[in-house]
A = this chain, B = another copy of it.
Amino acid sequence: MKDKSGQRKSLGKVVALCGGVGGAKLALGLYRVLPPDDLVLCVNTGDDFEHLGLHVSPDLDTVLYTLAGLNNPETGWGRRDETWTFMRALEALGGETWFRLGDGDLATHLERTRRLRSGESLTAVTRDFARRLRIRADLLPMTDDPVRTLVETPEGVMPFQRYFVARRCEPAVLRLRFDGAEPAQPSPVVIAALRSPELAVVVICPSNPYLSVDPILALPALRTALADCAAPVVAISPLIGGQAVKGPTAKIMAELAVPQTQASIARHYDGLIDGLVIDRTDRQDAAALPVPARITRTLMNSLDDREALAREVLDFGASLGDRATARQV
């Protein structure tokens, strides 16, 4: 937020939980309207997987590239000005090509893998990459421990990327599991921020609640810290008119027999959120929500959209006041 001199005004710390594409859009909006040092980004690593011997962190990379201005705006994933020489050569050698790795993107995976093998933590590598790409927000994996999203389908249990990329989300989702979440230690930086007296608001980005946010919330200590934190927690619904802007949120809700409504999203975050931001299209749903709603435009096509939504979210959070206060009322 800018004051009259055009300086971005500090509200205190802002923690945002986010997944990939949708989350990264709002993360960029927040990054641009806040003093950059105020933003702590806690990113899903449930989609991480080993591929071709490399540690791939799709959501971390999407946020990294987006904040560094390196993202591919057409695809929503990967890098701009990417080349694909590697994939063509790999195909000629009979390598696995179902997961597309661009030539520039490969540098991230290779260098991360090398540093992880040399004993650095995912947190240390991620922060250093962000620093080198001149990102001043604190970009953090939700944990340094392995958590793996598994999708239970009628065809059996699938690792996330097999479901998401190889099978294009076609199999019905019966249940989602986050292997390793129970014993995993969440990022101590995120926990400290959630407990900080400087915390102004926690933002749950409009990422897929089931695939991208739930792995974060599956970390017991993080969920507890979120439930206990003094600042308001605000989620932005990924649904607009019962549909997701991108990705399988609505499809998964149908498969899980959850109505594709804003009330379902609010209930999904029951006990954790103090307010839900919904799109104008769904203004009639506001009254049925168990938490206060902020009605605005949630579709983020342009950079202005991202910044405008970020401002709305921060303003909404500020309007909710302290949770302690809110709950006493």
Contacts and interface: CB of A to CB of B under 8 A. Distances in A.
Contacts of A324: none
A86 B90 CA distance: 15
Contacts of A117: 53
Task: List the number of copies, as a whole number.
Answer: 2
Interface string A62-101: 0000000000000000010111011111101111000000
Nearest to A82: B85
Contact of A110 (B53, B81, B92): B53
Given A53-B113, A83-B85, 4 more contacts: A53-B117, A83-B103, A89-B105, A94-B128
Given A52-B111, A110-B53, A132 B94 contact: yes
A133 B53 contact: no
Nearest to A79: B89
A104 B87 CA distance: 8
A180 interface: no
Interface residues of A, number: 33
Given A104-B85, A106-B106, A117-B53, A111 B90 contact: yes
A119 to B, nearest CB: 13
Contacts of A87: 107
